[in-house]
Amino acid sequence: MHSFYHALSSVKKFGGIPSNYQFLHDWFDESKSHFADFRHRAARHHSEGIFTCERIFGTTIKNSDGREIPVRLIGEQHVQEDLQWIPTLADWLRCIQPEEWMMKVGMKSRDLEKDEMDKRRDNNTPMAWYEYEDRLKIYNFLYPQGEYLFGKRKRKLFEKQLKIEVTKCLQETQR
């Protein structure tokens, strides 16, 4: 639905005129300029997007009738009109199919990388342990409950295999 029609709907629900609400509905649909189909909604059409809107624009706005209207209610109205419910950000992210490029750690400049390596050596902690921590952080970020893609059993196996790999690396570095 175009943001103008969302604004008209807000007028019916809260009073005032469309321009009282247009900027809020434009904010929710701003991502259409980057991705012009339903997937643009993943950026802001969820509970976190509604609370972000409230943080940006304030708890309430005053419409032309002089009424204070909670921004959160306007955001909820927008999302419900588009989706018929209010998903969480996790609901959207769960639908993303992980690809190899998504799981790579970003490139760092050589100087920063060298500084980090030196700092890790100063702690007398083998590098394998840090690699294990980094991989586990990425895994836990992508699969917070570890169940929806792998299931509990596969997650346990993954963690066990990762620990075995790290233990082997640690034993080799101590020799």
pLDDT digits 0-9 by tens, 111-156: 666 666 666 555 655 555 556 566 666 666 555 554 444 556 666 6
Number of domains in the chain: 2
Say whether both 7 and 89 belong to one domain.
yes
pLDDT (tens digit per residue) in 43-77: 999 999 999 999 999 999 999 999 999 999 999 99
pLDDT (tens digit per residue) in 1-46: 899 999 999 999 999 999 999 999 999 999 998 888 888 999 999 9
Say whether both 56 and 17 belong to one domain.
yes
Among residues 63, 78, 93, the one where a domain terminates is: 93
The answer to whether 9 touches 77, Cβ cutoff 8 Å, is yes
Say whether both 18 and 87 belong to one domain.
yes
